[in-house]
Structure 1
Amino acid sequence: MNVRVIALLTALPGLLVPAAAQQKMELWYWHHSYLTSTAAVQYSENLIDQAAAAGYTGLALWDTSVNALNLPGWPTQNVTYLQQVIEYANAKGLKVMPLVAPYGHSNDALRRNPNWAEGQRVTGTQFKVDAAGQTLQVMNSFPGLVNGGFESGATGWFAYGDPGTVLDTSVSHTGLASGLISGALNPSGNARFFQQLNVIPWRQYHLRMYIKTQNFAGFSQIQIFDSANWAINKIDHPFNLPANQDWTQVDVTFNSGASSTLYLLMGVWGGNSGNAWFDDISLEETALVYVLRRAGTPLKIYDPNNPATIYSEGADYNPISDPKFATNPTFDNDNWHTPMTVTLPSGTRLRPGQIVAMEHYAVQPIYNEAVGMCLTDAGVQGWMSDNAKAVAAVFPPSGGYFFGHDEMRHMNSCASCKAKGMTAGQLLAWSVGQTIGVFNTVSPGAPIYIWSDMFDPYHNAHDNFYFVEGDIAGSWQGLPANVAVMNWNLNNLKNSATWFSGTDPKQPVPHKQIIAGFYDGGNAAALAQTELSQVSGVPGIAGMMYTTWRDDYSQLQGFA
């Protein structure tokens, strides 16, 4: 046990750590690995040696192989590698707690079946049967952007008034002009092009542009949000622009949701150096990009003039699915791809020139592997149950389980979730209860830990969180007192820790808390001191976790 952490914890007034409990203080570290080789095992064992020498008591294991344990054909050798590392850690005095239930960042599970992803509805998209009577063609309802090619001067893009955005008639992708973001004109402020978009609610849209850079450095992105409530964000997509690139096509997809008027902002936030040019910007209505096919995401084609007339899949149109799912069933590297063309069989009732409408569900892609899976789908529940059994067969229950309900940006959208008749917060509380039941069945009494953010009103448990439909408030009612909270709300730690301590009448259930600190934030030793001082006086603080998302273990000892 690390003496310095105990000293820091016991020295803080109000933490109320009795002498008999001091040896139970927890010091975890976030251990990222992919245990499918002897080299990966050796790397992990070396890291465990460092942690043991520094006084850590456990490692929280983030490893894709955990979610693959129930995958048919998963090599037994990989299971052996995992067992070897667990045994090695236990021999060094460290518990091993696997990250399970990947509801926030669900790519591991979605590789098994991408149709398990949570999807937003797309309603009323119109298609026209082509002249040959063989395919359905999307009818684009959007009239077009104003001055998408910057050929009409400053019209359409500069009303937001950010300095540093200018018209450039010396550089262009096509035509004679482009929009330029110049760091020389505004090195420290925002520089964004702006346009209002009039859209149809619950439709899927495709935005395309071309970008060229020269000696560019700065944070650049696209944001599209509701004109009446800027907290309702339709897309938040970083460009990750290189310093120098020739004209490069950039595509994104978004769902208009309940909005009819949107604001488009694209460019630089917080200043830049160098130049970035934008040109040939276009927006069109589309459909079937990442279309989902499962029971909770029904698809229907019907006559818009007589909605009771519904056409049959297989008889009137050939089966619909996204072929992308067969080749690359992940969403983080592909925000747009050309959707499938719906073809018609020979016996179809549809005739050339006929207009039909479609309702379907589709995934809204998001960066950093943050697409989440459905909370209610039977396939997801079955996978979760099978995975829990497989995990319990490998991991000692004393280490506990770490639930991955974190940064859940998709929730309460598909038909099966809506059928619950719950708010987003109630649905999440229900889901956590289901997950607790699954793991209690396979490992009765095993400790359970969970990330804090989705149950914290000072963090993500509120209305208008990314693509979640409805308010997440009340989610905390799904956490029984024996669930420990890994608190990573480092920007509002005092209020957050107080919330989970049970001393707030709005949340009276007391939880053991581990402060998930560092977060690649600088001097780990100083950060540990700061984080602990912020929770002075808050009951229930039981330890800390060195948390790195960059696999930076250089300060593992300093944090301890």
Structure 2
Amino acid sequence: MARTLICAAVIGGLAALCMPAGAQGTGAPLPHRWFYCSGYRQSRQDVDRIKSLIRTAADHGLNGVVLDYLGLDSITRWGEEEFALFQEVADVCRQEGIELIPTGFSVGYGGGALWHDRNFAAALPVTIRLEARGSGAIPVPGPDLMVNGDLEQHEGDRFTGFDFHDQPGEISFAEAAVAASGTTSIRFENLTANEHGHGRIMQRVAVAPGRCYRFSFRIRTEDLEPVSGVQALVLAGERTLASTQPGLQPTQDWTDVTLEFITVEETEVRVYAGIWGGRSGRFWIDDMQVRQYGTLADIVRREGTPLGLRSLDRDTAFVEGRDFEPVENRPDLEALALTPGTSVREGERLELDCYKTPFIGHGWGRQISLCMSNPALYDYWESQARRLHEVLPYKRFLLSMDEIRNGGGCLLCKQRGMTMAEILGDCFTRQRAIFKAIDPDIEVLTWSDMLDPNHNAHDDYYHVVGDFTGSWRYVPKDLVIMCWWKERKAESLAFFSAQGFRTMGACYYDADDLSSSREWLDLLTATPGAQGIMYTSWERKYDLLAAYGDMVSGR
């Protein structure tokens, strides 16, 4: 059993908490001066690095660390080694007078809940075309829906059938010397000739609602920078249906890029391939296709996500467990296994009605959001919050409630008769109640974007079926809002302050200097209800942490 851990704020930090929020006009430092520590694992090397950062923070006037530590919201899975390493971090916090603020309970990115049960995922209704072959039923692709996707038809440097490709003859060119197949590909170079560094090709494609599709192409790179700017993207109106960064090398031979997307009510999509923010080098694209094709991976099985299999060749519905084996939520499921006594015929065309998690890709992997209407999710979160509090009697918790890009599609959500804004507000309310039941004095914070009309609290948001507009009206007023979008920092801070919320600012974001952080500090100092500021790195860049601490603590 791990020992109970206690992390307290330094005396100066406690005194600061007694000042008026934001200490407007007094010249005093903001009460909370934190840094965000993320991306580290439960290893000897990473824990030593975290402890070093905590000591640096304390030496330069900071008084808190938000620890986004692997597994804080799946702490009931920890072994003795994990507890011992966490104990070391907590001990250093106590010794240095740094408050340790845990974070977790992410809906947008799943967190520990997905490790506990993949069926906690939010899902969309979809129909997948199959064909019975031997002892299984496998997905079958439909015809290619793109026009001139092989890029063989062009007039000079302009390709037939595409709505646009960036600056033909200047950035994009018909290439006869290099092709993945056929005789022609499209080449992109001179990327800085576009003011944004864009080199993209796009086509509108007709689709049917409630179906799975696969967008694919081949790409070749040569001295391309930054390769992180290469994307495959599917849009419908203002909504992003799917995106991925394929993780290429600056110079790489022909590579397949594949992106699955799900339609809800859409009848037309725009498919993009190329680079955003390119600086140098060149690349080629060829063999673009869009086909109706759905894999059997990530089929969600829980209350609110029914599944059915029917024939397209006759008026027959098949029974799970009798005609085909029970379907599990697996990332590697390739076929439905037919039972020995199945009534499915060889070669029969089938359709599977089910609920799948949509694909939202990042350079690090796939983003999967949780269903906020699933009662079992809150039971899981409560078990983790209580166990964590036994180990660390925390006084604050930052909810990792950002970028919730899927939800509202399953029957659990639809049967509630609530808007997505109300469902989100109910989720926040229930999360807060979990912590208040453990200790009424726990203060709950959250990232701002899903409650901010200047950011993500709006309609047409990725795969969300519904509208987040007005979500801020349905959450407890004692939440502390961690504003983080630097492009709209003034608008966001003013909005939440006017709504009566206390705020903090998450700044820095891996810049080469602290100029943006200084702007944040000036805004926060002038914002009624502002509680503090947080050095926030997504890339584990802490070279400026000491200078930042000196700046925000007035040294």
Please say if 1:90 is aligned against 2:103.
no
1:310 to 1:382, Cα distance in 2 relative to 1, 3 A? farther
Match for 2:426 among 419, 427, 430? 430
Question: Which one of the candidate residues 498, 503, 507 is aligned to 1:513?
Answer: 503
Residue 453 of structure 2 aligns to which amino acid in structure 1?
P
- Distance in 2, Cα, partners of 1:351 & 1:409: 39
What is residue 380 of structure 1 aligned with on the other side? Answer: 377
Match of 2:221 among 204, 213, 220: 213
Q: Which amino acid aligns with 2:64?
A: G
Distance change (3 Å), C-alpha of 1:56 and 1:537: closer
Residue 553 of structure 1 corresponds to which residue in structure 2?
542
Q: Distance in 2 between matches of 1:31 and 1:139?
A: 46
How far, CA to CA, are the matches of 2:214 and 2:448 in structure 1?
A: 34
Structure 2 residue 120 is the aligned partner of structure 1 residue 106: no
- Among 246, 263, 286, the alignment partner of 1:256 is 263
Displacement of 1:355 after TM fit?
3.3
Q: For each residue in 1:193-242, what CA deviation from the matched residue of structure 2 results, as whole angstroms up to 9, or x when unmatched? A: 2222111111111122211111222422222222xx2x022123234432
Deviations 1:140-179 (A, max 9, x none): 4444322222233455454415212222111111222212
Match of 2:462 among 466, 486, 501: 466
Aligned to 1:28: 34
Secondary structure of residue in 2 paired with 1:439: helix
- 485-494 or 531-540, larger mean C-alpha shift: 531-540
Q: Which range is displaced more, 297-306 or 239-248? A: 297-306
Whole-angstrom CA distance in 2 between matches of 1:143 and 1:46: 55
Residue 343 of structure 1 and its aligned partner are, at CA, apart by 2.8
Which whole-Å CA distance do the structure 1 matches of 2:523 and 2:201 have between them? 40
Return the letter of the residue paired with 2:131: K
The answer for the alignment partner of 1:266 in structure 2 is 273
1:427 deviation in Å? 0.6
The residue matched to 1:69 in structure 2 has which SS?
helix
Deviation at 1:116, TM superposition (A): 1.6
Q: How much has 1:36 moved relative to structure 2?
A: 3.0
Equivalent residue of 2:205, what SS?
A: strand
Number of matched residues? 524
Relative to 1, partners in 2 of residues 1:272 and 1:550: Cα closer, same or farther, differing over 3 Å?
A: closer
- Any conservation in 2 of the 1:157–1:193 contact (CA below 8 Å)? no
Q: Which amino acid counterpart does residue 530 of structure 2 have in structure 1?
A: I
Cα deviation digits, residues 457-484 of structure 1 (max 9, x gap): 0111111122212111122123322211
Secondary structure, aligned partner of 2:201: strand
Superposed, which structure 2 residues align to 1:154-173 within 5 Å?
A: 155-156=159-160, 158-163=162-167, 164-173=171-180
Residue deviations 1:249-291 (CA, integer Å, cap 9, x gap): 1111111221111121211234443221112222222222322
Instruction: List alignment gaps of at least 5 residues for structure 2.
Output: 1-9, 550-555
Residue matched to 1:299: 307
**Relative to structure 2, which stretch is displaced further, 262-271 or 400-409?**
262-271
Question: Secondary structure of the equivalent of 1:205?
Answer: strand
Q: Which moved more, 1:465-474 or 1:189-198?
A: 189-198
1:478 equivalenced with 2:474 (yes/no):
yes
For residue 4 of structure 2, what is the aligned residue in structure 1?
A: none
Q: Secondary structure at the match of 1:408?
A: coil
Amino acid paired to 2:317: I
Find the counterpart in structure 1 of residue 351 from structure 2. 357
Instruction: Report the secondary structure of 2:341's partner residue.
Output: coil
**Inter-partner Cα distance in structure 2 for 1:157 and 1:317:** 42
Q: Which runs of 5+ in 1 are unaligned?
A: 326-338
Question: Identity of aligned pairs, percent?
Answer: 25
CA distance in 1, matches of 2:282, 2:546: 42
Once residues 276 and 144 of structure 1 are traced to their aligned partners in structure 2, the CA distance between those partners, rounded to angstroms, is 24
Inter-partner Cα distance in structure 1 for 2:435 and 2:162: 55
Letter of the 1:467 partner, please give it.
H
Alignment RMSD: 2.9
2:445 aligned counterpart, secondary structure? strand
CA distance in 1 between counterparts of 2:277 and 2:41 reads 40
Alpha-carbon separation, structure 1, partners of 2:154 and 2:41: 57
Partner of 1:335: none
Q: Is the 8 A contact 1:27 1:545 kept in 2?
A: yes
Measure the CA separation in 1 of the matches of 2:434 and 2:297.
33
- Given residue 109 of structure 1, which amino acid in structure 2 is its aligned partner? A
Residues 86-485 of structure 1: matches in 2 within 5 Å? 86-123=90-127, 125-130=128-133, 134-153=135-154, 155-156=159-160, 158-163=162-167, 164-183=171-190, 186=193, 188=195, 189-218=197-226, 219-226=229-236, 229=237, 231-287=238-294, 288-303=296-311, 310-324=317-331, 340-368=334-362, 369-398=366-395, 400-485=396-481
Question: By how many angstroms is 1:38 displaced?
Answer: 3.8
CA contact 1:104–1:407 (8 Å) conserved in 2? yes
Match of 1:254, as an amino acid? F
Offset at 1:500? 1.0
Distance 1:363 1:145 in 2: 25
What SS is found at the alignment partner of 1:64?
coil
Deviation at 1:433, TM superposition (A): 0.8
What secondary structure is seen at the aligned counterpart in 2 of 1:166?
strand
CA 1:44–1:232 in 2, change beyond 3 Å: closer, same or farther?
Answer: closer
1:452 and 1:420 map into 2 onto residues whose CA distance is 25
Amino acid at match of 1:121: P
| Aligned mates of 2:240, 2:43 — CA distance in 1 | 42
CA distance in 2: counterparts of 1:157 and 1:186, whole angstroms: 24
1:540 to 491, 512, 529: 529
CA apart distance, 1:96? 0.6
